[in-house]
Amino acid sequence: MTIATAGAQRRAQIVSAWSFDVFDTFLLRACTAPDGVFERTYELSDISRTCPDVSASFVQHRIQAEARARRTAKEKRGTSEVHIEEIYSFFPFRLFGLARSHLNDLVESEFAAELELCRANPDMIRQYLDTKRAGHRVGFISDTYWDSDRLSRLLRACRPGLTWDFLYASCDHGSGKSESLFAKYLSEQDIDAGASFHVGDNDKADIKGAKRHGIRPRYYPQATLQLASKFQRETALFELLCTGAPSRLDHGARTLRRMVAARSAEKSPAFHLGMTVLGPVMTAFDAFIARRCQEVAGPGRTIALAFLGRDGFLSHRIWQETHGPTSAYLEINRRVSLIASADTMQPLIELLAKILKIDAPTFRDMIKILPPKVAAFFAASPNGIASGPDIAEALPDLMDASQIVELAAALRARLLAYLRHLIPDFDNCTDLVLADLGYSGSVQKALRRVFDLAGIKIRLHGAYLVSLDDAFDDIADRDSAAGFISDLVVTPHIKRMLIRNIALLEQICCSADGSVRDYDGDKVLREINPRTASQIALAAEIQAGCVAFAGSAEEVALDFCLAPYDAPDIAARWCTATLARFLLLPDEDELALLGGLKHDVNLGTHALAPMIDSDFIRRQITARGFSAACASAAPPMWLAGCFARLSPSNAYLYTLFGANRLPADVFEESPCGQIQIGLFRANGEASLETATSYRTGLGELRLRIPVSRAMGIAMIALPLPKFAGEGLLHGVTIQLADDVSEAAESQDVISIAADSLVYAGIQRNGTHYRTESDDACLLISVAPMTQDIAIYSVAITPLGPTAK
């Protein structure tokens, strides 16, 4: 026999096969995680009626029952493989008002939940059929407590007519894929391992288990490690923010996200962020807008939909992607709409009161005139800059109201001309739906006044991503407003925390153009855009990922028989968790990608405010305490990002504070002793003063030393051995004001550079220090004071015993 003939005979004897894992590979579940099956089991069983609102307890007891069953099986039989009936034999029936005779009822309820939630993976079906047509043997190998009979029923229920050459359920064979199940399969089926493949999602069981037996593995992960981490944080936030709601059943929203991401080509991190995080949120919002339009529609009504620029730019792009060119993009901002709606001076006063700082040129640009008294007011202000509240309070004495009314009428006419150009058949429209990121509906209310002044009867209906619902009570009776993430989804406390950090989302969602300042027919006259080209490009790339998700979501949802937006309340809760995770608990990659963004104030100024300033937060914690830092006013604009830059745990504590779940008696400071501080005056006199030291909930020591200008203090001496002989010095800060209480509350906290401090008898390496003698001191020079009171604060994490 020749070598060639022997080789041909050998190849003819080779039996190759493709085996597929079942759950999370060939079958996917329309829930956030596998234990979503247990939550649905609870809903399908009698327990949900006899013991309502205990789904979380049921799920945990189901998980614990499985753990006990496997542990017992391991002890008795040497294997942890069990059948479903064994699992429920360890379930606490009496707790839920059941008898042990209900065991089969629970088993059938769980199988019914599997039948309802499982979907055949079309990507795997194509691969399965391709390998079958190529002449390979195909089948399934699953680590499962469902026996082969039920597993067969489940597979054929998800894919009618499906056939296979072999099917192995671990519970039937007393061994899993990590043990000897692969060996049993190869032996019984007479399979050549080297010519065979196994497809699965579990690295240990499917990949390493297959490799150990010579089978070629094909890894099919449910999500990247990065995306899985995001999902874990989202689930934690869902349970924190949406209390009482089922946290595992989402109508397949997370499965949709995984599958869209799996089918998309690898692109930039910014595109991936849009595809996996913000795209799903904005696509769900798109479905909410469509529902709002349907709610408004009715006999005799002509509906128009408009997205408010600039923040509505991304939403408009997604609507065009999913519905075609059936909407308008209107560039209207709060400043233009308020001025155009003015028939008194009050709207302008309200607008100015919300501006942090303003100068004369900016005032002229906003109002189109600069009356002499107004110019004199700015000239008398420091550096020609006044605070918005100050100019708002003085305005009635500086301008004639008739000037405002005349200017408003002219702007109103130009605004209405612009609307008629942008909205087809505007004058025959009965209802106008306004879509925007939202909040208090200020543009909608101003536009209502514009329409009323012009005698236009069009009803206005707000469709907002995030709404401050208590601000909608003064909306006209014939109008309406609704938020996708409303106060019925999360509490007002949580809503305000989200809006405090919403500037990041605004910058991502807005157009690349500057803010509108006026109109000329159908043309928009815009402010100078102060944002950098790199920031605009980054936002565009994230938007591209969002639009890509929206463009493929419907097709993928149909492929997997998913309906993630059919239940509006469930969709809203999960979008809240997704958005909250992004805004409140960003990961390191997101901080690196987005931390350099700046926010343009968009009120007639060219100012850019930083998103993140972690040093600012560290100073606030040192001087004012953690809770006060959590309530800091902007800037910086992304407060949660500032905490996250310090550490993920700081970001989570900030989230707990915003959810009203951070108990003050645990995390705030409490007195822990007294220490004598040396105060040295410029004339050479010295005195000892007693100061109270405090310990925070995070274990830091805090000391505040108030001094007055009249005391003439030149140096403060802090005897560190009596405070903390070794530790981490987080900083020394100063707050200035004309009285102690005002200084203590001041957010203007100045940090003293570490190198300007004098470490007498102290070893220092960065923030770490160790005292070398009992008389070691930290010497703090007192700068010349511009106000009556200065409070010096010191924050230290002790690394050894502290003085009593």
Q: For 207-258, how does the pLDDT look when each residue is reduced to its tens digit (9 = 90+)? A: 999 999 999 999 998 888 899 999 999 999 999 999 888 899 999 999 999 9
Whether residue 10 has pLDDT greater than 60:
no
Q: Which residues of 19-53 are buried (b: 16+ CB within 10 A; e: fewer)?
A: bbbbbbbbbbbbbbbebbbbbbbbbbbebbeebee
Taking only Cα atoms into account, the Rg of the chain, rounded to an integer number of angstroms, comes to 33
pLDDT at 75: 96
Q: Please compute the mean of the pLDDT values over residues 457-479 and round it to a whole number.
A: 95
Whether residue 368 has pLDDT greater than 50:
yes
Can you tell me the distance from the alpha carbon of 192 to that of 588, in angstroms, rounded to the nearest whole number? 46
Can you tell me the distance from the alpha carbon of 327 to that of 348, in angstroms, rounded to the nearest whole number? 30
pTM over 0.75: yes
pLDDT at 605: 53
Q: Is residue 783 within 8 Å of 763, Cβ to Cβ?
A: no
**pLDDT above 90 coverage of the chain, percent:** 83
Give residue-wise pLDDT tens across range 569-592: 999 999 999 999 999 999 999 999
Can you tell me the distance from the alpha carbon of 136 to that of 240, in angstroms, rounded to the nearest whole number? 49
Can you tell me the distance from the alpha carbon of 449 to that of 52, in angstroms, rounded to the nearest whole number? 48
pLDDT at 800: 76
Pairing of the two strands 686-695 and 670-681:
antiparallel
Which one, of 735, 795, 504, 439, lies nearest residue 639 by Cα? Answer: 504
Q: Please compute the mean of the pLDDT values over residues 502-529 and round it to a whole number.
A: 93
**pLDDT above 70 coverage of the chain, percent:** 97
Q: Is residue 723 within 8 Å of 802, Cβ to Cβ?
A: yes
Whether residue 802 has pLDDT greater than 80:
no
Which one, of 398, 426, 411, lies nearest residue 338 by Cα? Answer: 411
Cβ neighbourhood burial of 135 (10 Å; 0-12, 13-18, 19+): exposed
Give residue-wise pLDDT tens across range 738-759: 999 999 999 999 999 998 999 9
* Ramachandran angles phi, psi of 103, nearest 5°: -55, -50
Q: Please compute the mean of the pLDDT values over residues 3-31 and round it to a whole number.
A: 73
pLDDT tier at 6 (50, 70, 90 boundaries)? very low
Cα atoms found within 13 Å of the Cα of residue 471, Cβ hemisphere only? 19
Contacts of 119 (CB under 8 A, 6+ apart): 27, 28, 29, 30, 158, 252, 255, 560, 561, 562
Give residue-wise pLDDT tens across range 405-451: 888 999 999 999 999 999 999 999 999 999 999 999 999 999 999 99
Q: Please compute the mean of the pLDDT values over residues 383-402 and round it to a whole number.
A: 89
* Ramachandran angles phi, psi of 639, nearest 5°: -65, -40
CA 578 to chain centre: 5
Cβ neighbourhood burial of 800 (10 Å; 0-12, 13-18, 19+): exposed
Q: Is the dihedral of CA 7, 8, 13, 15 positive or negative?
A: positive
Structure-model confidence comparison of residues 403 and 109, the more confident one? 109
pLDDT at 3: 43
Whether residue 354 has pLDDT greater than 90:
no
Retrieve residue 766's tokens.
């960065």
Angle between helices 372-379 and 360-367 (to 10 degrees): 150
Cα atoms found within 13 Å of the Cα of residue 217, Cβ hemisphere only? 22
Whether residue 471 has pLDDT greater than 70:
yes
Q: In the chain, count of helices (H) and strands (E)? A: 34, 29
Retrieve residue 86's tokens.
């064994």
pLDDT at 5: 42
Whether residue 496 has pLDDT greater than 50:
yes
Q: Is the dihedral of CA 59, 61, 67, 69 positive or negative?
A: negative
Which of 81-95, 553-567, 602-616 is predicted least confidently? 602-616
The angle subtended at Cα 156 by Cα 154 and Cα 160, nearest 5°, is 145
Can you tell me the distance from the alpha carbon of 473 to that of 467, in angstroms, rounded to the nearest whole number? 12
Give one DSSP letter per residue of 49-90, joined into a string: HHSTT-HHHHHHHHHHHHHHHHHHHHHHHS-----HHHHHTT
Please count the other Cβ atoms lying within 10 Å of the Cβ belonging to residue 784. 6
Give residue-wise pLDDT tens across range 106-146: 999 999 999 999 999 999 999 999 999 999 999 999 999 99
Read off the amino acid at residue 311: D
pLDDT tier at 606 (50, 70, 90 boundaries)? low
The angle subtended at Cα 453 by Cα 451 and Cα 457, nearest 5°, is 40
649 φ/ψ sector (left φ>0, alpha ψ -120 to 50, else beta):
alpha
Give one DSSP letter per residue of 530-557, joined into a string: -S-HHHHHHHHHHHHHHHHHHHHHHHHH
CA 282 to chain centre: 13
Please report, to the nearest 10 degrees, the dihedral formed by the alpha carbons of residues 219, 220, 222, 228 taken in order: 30
Place of tokens 């906290």: 749
Can you tell me the distance from the alpha carbon of 775 to that of 717, in angstroms, rounded to the nearest whole number? 11
Can you tell me the distance from the alpha carbon of 724 to that of 776, in angstroms, rounded to the nearest whole number? 11
pLDDT at 402: 85
Cβ neighbourhood burial of 324 (10 Å; 0-12, 13-18, 19+): exposed
Q: Is residue 248 within 8 Å of 574, Cβ to Cβ?
A: no
Can you tell me the distance from the alpha carbon of 276 to that of 279, in angstroms, rounded to the nearest whole number? 6
* Ramachandran angles phi, psi of 217, nearest 5°: -85, 150
Give residue-wise pLDDT tens across range 254-270: 999 999 999 888 889 99
Can you tell me the distance from the alpha carbon of 461 to that of 480, in angstroms, rounded to the nearest whole number? 5
Instruction: For residue 635, say if its preceding peptide bond is cis, omega within 30 degrees of 0.
Output: yes
Can you tell me the distance from the alpha carbon of 590 to that of 575, in angstroms, rounded to the nearest whole number? 18
Q: Please compute the mean of the pLDDT values over residues 716-745 and round it to a whole number.
A: 95
Can you tell me the distance from the alpha carbon of 648 to that of 644, in angstroms, rounded to the nearest whole number? 5
Can you tell me the distance from the alpha carbon of 447 to that of 411, in angstroms, rounded to the nearest whole number? 12
Please count the other Cβ atoms lying within 10 Å of the Cβ belonging to residue 663. 10
The angle subtended at Cα 44 by Cα 43 and Cα 49, nearest 5°, is 60
